[in-house]
Amino acid sequence: MKRYIGIRIVYLLLTLFIITTATFFLMKALPGTPFDEEKLQQLPQEQRQMIYASYGLDKPVGVQYVNYLKNIVKGDLGTSFFYTGQPVKDIIMSRIGPSALIGLQAVLLGLAIGMILGIIAAYRHNSGWDYATMIIAVLGVSVPNFVLAALLQYFVGLKWGLLPVAFWESYPSSILPSIALCVGVIALIARFVRTEMLEVLEQDYVTTAKAKGLGFARIMFQHVIRNSLISVITILGPIVVNLLTGSLVIENIFGIPGIGSLFVDSIKMNDYSTIMGITIFYSAFYVFVMLIVDLLYGLVDPRIRLASGKE
C-alpha cells in the first residue's frame, strides 16, 4: 500500500513537470506581452525594452523557463503582471476559497440528492417515480447552469428577495451559486446510480442474499448500493475537480471573486506567472483527486485490491 502510494506520487510529480513545461511554452507562443501595448506604443523602443527587461522578458524563452523552474523548486510562483507586484500564491489563495466553497456545496448537495433520486428510480423501476426522476435528470443535464443561475438570481434574489442577488458578503451569498452548479451534478449522478443499480439488482449475489433471508436494508446498503457506487466514484473525480476549481460563468453572474474568472482573465491578459501558478495548482489538485479516487475503489469494491497481499 505504502509502496503503491509512493510510486503514484513519483508519477504525480512527473505529470506535473510535463504539464508545466508544455503550458510554459504554449503560453509563450501566445501573441503579445502582459503589458498595455497600445500605451507602450507611445514610448520609444529603448524605453519599451527597458520595461520588458525589468521583468526578465528580454531573455530567450529557454532561459526564462529554467529561471521559472528554479523558482518553482524554491516554492516561489512569482508575482503577477496584471495585478502588479502581487504574489501569485496570495492571489490564488484568496481566490480559491469562494470557488471551493461553492463547488464543495454543489458536489455534496448534488451527490446526496442525485443518489437518492437514482436509488428511488432504480428501486421503483418503470414506475411514475422512475419517469419523474429521469425527466428531472434530463432537464438538469440539458438546461445550462448559467440560464438557471440567471433565473435563480431574478426570482429568488430580486423578485422574492430571499437571498442576495450577487456579491460575496456573507454565507447566504454562496447558496444560489451552489444550487445553480449542483443541478448538473444531481442529473448526472442520478442517471449513473440508476443504471448501475438496475444492473446490480440483477446480480446473482443479490438473489443469494435475498434467498438467505437477509433484511431489506442489509441487502440494499451492504450489497446493492455499495456495488453501485463504483461508477459514481469514477465520475466523481472529474466533477469534484471541475466544481472546486471554479466556474467562470457562475462566478461572473453572481459577482464572486473566484478562481475560474481569474484563470480566464490571466490568459487574456498574458499574465504569465498567474497562468502558470493556476495551471500548476489545477493539475496538482487533479492528480491528487485521481489518486484518492483510486484509493476509494479499493474501499468500496472488494474485487479491486491494490498490492495488499502482504497485509
Partner 1 sequence: MKRKKVSLLATLLVVSAIFTGCSFSGGDSKGASSGTTGDTGNTAQTASKELRLSVESEIKDLNQWAASDDVSFTVLNNIGEGLYRLDPKNEPQPAMAESSELSEDKLTYTFKLRADAKWSDGSPVTAADFKFAWLREMDPKTGTNGYSFIMTDYIVGAAEYAEGGSADKVGIEAKDDKTLVVHLKQPTPYFLRLTSLAPYFPMKEEFVKSQGESYALSPQNMLFNGPYTLTSVDAASGAVLEKNAGYWDAANVKVDKVDLKVIKEKSTALNAYKAGQLDRVLLQSSDVNASKSDPGFGTGINFRTTYLQFNLKADGVSNINIRKALEYSFDSKLLADQVLNNGSKAATGLIPDQMSATGGKSFREMQGDLITPDAAKAKSYWEQGVKELGKAPKITMLVADTSETKDVATFMQSEFKKNLGIDVAIDTKTAKARGQLMDNSQYQMAITAWGADYDDAMTYLDLWANHTPYRGNYENPKYDKLITDAKKETDEARRIDMLLAAEKILTAEDVVVVPIYFGGYSYLLSDKVEGLDYHPYGNPVDFKYASIK
Catalog residues that contact partner 1 under the rule CB under 8 A: 1, 30-33, 35-44, 46-48, 50-51, 54, 82-86, 90-91, 93-98, 100-101, 104, 150, 153-154, 157-158, 161, 165-171, 174, 252-255, 257-258, 261-262, 265, 268, 270, 292, 295-296, 298-299, 308, 311
- Cα separation, 127 vs 10, in Å, equals 50
Closer to partner 1 by CB, 31 or 60: give it. Answer: 31
Closer to partner 1 by CB, 62 or 97: give it. Answer: 97
CB of 246 to partner 1, least distance (A): 11
CB of 18 to partner 1, least distance (A): 25
Closer to partner 1 by CB, 129 or 285: give it. Answer: 285
CB of 72 to partner 1, least distance (A): 19
CB of 3 to partner 1, least distance (A): 14
Closer to partner 1 by CB, 37 or 199: give it. Answer: 37
CB of 163 to partner 1, least distance (A): 11
CB of 50 to partner 1, least distance (A): 4
CB of 208 to partner 1, least distance (A): 22
Closer to partner 1 by CB, 140 or 258: give it. Answer: 258
Closer to partner 1 by CB, 16 or 289: give it. Answer: 289
Q: What is the DSSP string of the chain?
A: -HHHHHHHHHHHHHHHHHHHHHHHHHHHTSSS-SS-HHHHTTS-HHHHHHHHHHTTTTS-HHHHHHHHHHHHHTT---B-TTTTT-BHHHHHHHHHHHHHHHHHHHHHHHHHHHHHHHHHHHHTTTSHHHHHHHHHHHHHHHS-HHHHHHHHIIIIIIIS--S-SS-SSSGGGGHHHHHHHHHHHHHHHHHHHHHHHHHHHTSHHHHHHHHHT--HHHIIIIIIIHHHHHHHHHHHHHHHHHHHT--HHHHHHTT---HHHHHHHHHHTT-HHHHHHHHHHHHHHHHHHHHHHHHHHHHH-TT---S-TT-
Closer to partner 1 by CB, 169 or 204: give it. Answer: 169
